[in-house]
Amino acid sequence: MASEPLPPPERRVAASNPRPWIGAAIVLAGALVLAAQAWQFIVVRPVVLDALLGGSVAALATALGTLPVVFSQRLSERAQDTLFGFGAGVMLAACAFSLVIPGIAAAQAQGLGKWGSGGVVGGALLLGAATLLLMERVLPHEHFIKGVEGQSARTLRRTWLFVFAITLHNLPEGLAIGVGYAGNDGLRASALATGISIQDVPEGLVVAVALLAAGYRRSLAVGLGMASGLVEPVGAVVGAGIISYSAVLLPWGLGFAAGAMLFVISHEIIPESHRKGHEAWATGGLMLGFVIMMLLDTALG
C-alpha cells in the first residue's frame, strides 16, 4: 500500500510549532499578573499613588500637545526652537527649586553639614548625568537634527530610534515627578508636576511636528507623540517607590533626578534649539519658562 506523500517542509515545521497566539496569551497573562502586583504596591503607598497621578497628568499633557497636528497644523522652525527653549527653562527652574534646594535641605535634616549636604546632592547630580550619558551611548536613538547615535543604530528602523530618543528625554521628567512627591510637601510636589505638565504640552506638539517633518504619516506622528509621554508615569512610580523605602535615599534621589534633567537640557534641548539660527528666540523661551516655573514653585510651595 503506497504511503501518502509528505507535506511540504514549511507545513511540517508549522504543524510542529505551537500556534503564535499561545505564546501571546502567556505573555499577556504574565503582564496582567505583574500589573496587578504593581497596582497593589501602589495603592498601599499614598505617595506612590500621588506620583502616578502626577505622572499621568504629564503624559496627558503630552498627548494634548499633539492634537494640533491632527488638524494639519504646522509650526515654523522658529516657533519650534522657542518651544524647545521654553521647555528647557521650565526644567532648569524645576531642577533648582524643586530638586536641588529640597535635596540639600533633606541632607541637612539628616544631620549633614553644609559641605556634606552639598557634596551628597552634587555627587548624586553627577551620578544622574553619568547614567543618562551611559544610556545615551548604549541605547541606539536618533535626534531630530543631529541624526543617528548609539551602538548598532543603523540596523534599527528610524521610527524606533525616534522612540528611544523620546524615552531618554522624558524619563528624567517622570523620575523628577516621583522623587518630588516622595521628598516634598504636597503643594511643592504639585507645583513641580504642574510645571513639567505645562512644558509637556508644547513638547508633545514639537515631537509630533518633527516626526511629521521627518516623513512619517500624520497618524503615526501623532500616535508616537502621544505615546512619548507614557514613560513619565512609569518613571514617577519608580522614583517615588524607591525613595519611599528609605528617607536616607531622599537627597540622593532628588540630586539624581536633577542631574538627569540637567543632562537632557544641556545635551539635547539647548543644542537642538540653537542649530537653526534662532538662538535669541530659544533663549527668550528659556527665560520665560524659567520664570513661570519659578513662580509656580514659590507661589505653591
What span, in angstroms and rounded, lies between the C-alpha atoms of 277 and 82? 11
Of 107, 96, 92, 42, nearest in space to 283 by CA: 92
E runs forming strands in the chain:
141-143, 147-149
- Average pLDDT of the residues in 38-62: 78
Q: Which residue has the cell 535626534?
A: 143
Q: Which residue has the cell 503643594?
A: 187
pLDDT at 48: 82
- How many residues appear in the chain? 301
- Average pLDDT of the residues in 85-110: 85
Under DSSP, is residue 222 helix (H, G, I), strand (E, B) or coil? helix
∠ CA 43-47-53, nearest 5°, is: 75
- Sign of the Cα torsion 96, 97, 98, 104 reads positive
Convert the pLDDT of each residue in 216-267 to its tens digit.
788 888 888 888 888 888 888 888 888 877 778 888 888 888 888 888 888 8
Convert the pLDDT of each residue in 125-158 to its tens digit.
999 889 888 877 776 555 554 544 554 444 445 5
- Average pLDDT of the residues in 32-54: 70
Q: Which residue has the cell 511636528?
A: 209
Under DSSP, is residue 183 helix (H, G, I), strand (E, B) or coil? helix
Q: What confidence category does residue 119 fall into, taking pLDDT thresholds of 50, 70 and 90?
A: very high
**Residue 246 zone, left/alpha/beta (φ > 0; ψ -120 to 50; rest):** beta
Question: What separation in angstroms does the CA of 129 have from each of 71, 84, 134, 243, 267?
Answer: 38, 20, 9, 18, 10
pLDDT at 39: 60
